[in-house]
A and B are shown apart, each in its own frame.
Chain A
Amino acid sequence: MSRRKFATHTGIAVPMLQPNIDTDAIMPSREMKRVTRTGLGDGLFAGWRYLDRGTVTERENPEFILNQTDYQGASIILAGANMGCGSSREFAVWALADYGIRAIIAPSFGAIFRTNCIRNGVLPIGLDEKLVSRLADQVKTDPQRNSISIDLVKKQLAGPDGEQYSFDLDPADQQMLLEGLDLIDVTMQSIADIESYETLHRSRRSWMQLS
């Protein structure tokens, strides 16, 4: 199965600079009501995004930034340090992707969340805290120019003022995203190596084996 590819993307960036945005906030557990990975965008940031959620008076919270006019259709999040910390729930990334988020720019990420992003075609860009702040300031200052352009091939992004920033990404992660690879398909090409390792492992460390 192939996955969603990522090569270049230009979209509205929404500043959410508080540090330690956890995956419970991104996708509250109470929004995970079915054994499914699709259609989860409605639950994204539910605790912040809605008032009176689940009642007859449910409505959008006008104070939450994604509900504000300037950020309608946002596809890039500018976040604080340790973005996506906490629970390993991949529902958080499925919800982001379903909502339309293609990239997240932050000084650092929760490790499991970061991998979940890569596996689902969402690009996690690590950028120095000061640069993330600068981008966020620009986005806030001029709502007419709140887009960021990302080029994954060159590992560069352009801020609203056109200034270019380079970012790092492991070659393996870059390739996964560029080619939309399914990692299981890729690894199955090494199944013979796995089988021969397994035989050796079982003889060398027999005590580990479950009969």
Chain B
Amino acid sequence: MELSITQENFARALSAVGRVASNKAGLPILNNILLRTDGNRLLVAATNLEIATTQYIGAKIVKPGAITVPARLISEFVSSLPKDTIELKVVNDNIHLKCGNYTSIINGVIADDFPELPTINEESSISYTINVEDFKQAVSQTIITASSDSTRPVLTGVYWHSHEGQLFLAATDGYRLSERRLVETKSDVSAIIPTQTLQEVLRTIADTSETVDILFDETQVRFRINEAEIISRLVDGNFPDYRQLIPASSETSAVVNKQEFVRVTKIAGLFARESGGSVTMTVDPDKKTVSLHSIASEMGENTSELTAEVQGGGQVTLNSRYLSEALSVIDDDTIAFSFSGKLSPCILKSVKKDTNYYHVIMPLKS
């Protein structure tokens, strides 16, 4: 195998796939990155047997071939090099890298031992092409409410599913839930994509990307962004039927300015550290205000108020961190929230007419 390649392209590809390389599965070769020529391109790939990421980069191929190299060493070496052309040559399983005055020989392992990268049959799969901005927003809006508790695996991912002709994303950790409507769909989909996979996709999206191609089959999903590809397993299991939990109507509702609401939440949170983030929200229909109250038993207490459009009065106790996180992902200057008493879920969303996102937080039992 012999080829030349630009340092910029090579470094970018290595850093993108290098994160996935790990020895979690106990197979030493998974610490390595696969380099393989493919026509006039170089394939750079890594896998941890849950995700496989692949990057194709343009290269001048002199002699085709394949080899694997320790991920960490080659990534760090290549990223430290100046912007120049790198000449890569494999001699007896050793990779000779030359870039200007810098020469390295890295011991490789033959590519035969590297796991085959899974492929997906495009004919029998369902595909979507989604605008990068929509994708990024939708995933970041839902991923924050996914659980990290491995004892309930179905909650550790984002649930992509079709419902009444639309594709929805939903995630819950049992204490809060978020749902985002993404695009129209004619096919029926129901798949749980692991959180780590989506994080990896988000990281892979570059400024120049415009669309994300997503392909589902029964057990796997593939994302394609420009020349990069991420294939991942899906979480096995049924996502809970969360729709029945969302209350259709509510006793109390208020519309507030987001910026002000973010500020009072942050302030109330300062005094709620001791009590595990518990802040009490009171909606006063006479004064037309929403107030947040929190107590730190040894330090002091805080009450902040903001004016709002109010319907009905009531009180509910929430975790300030959940509230802050919800506010940070709702894309609007004004926010509507509603609840019915101390025990039923509190719903937050934008006031836009065709709002496609809502966030639900369970109150704290106080």
Q: Does B associate with A?
A: no
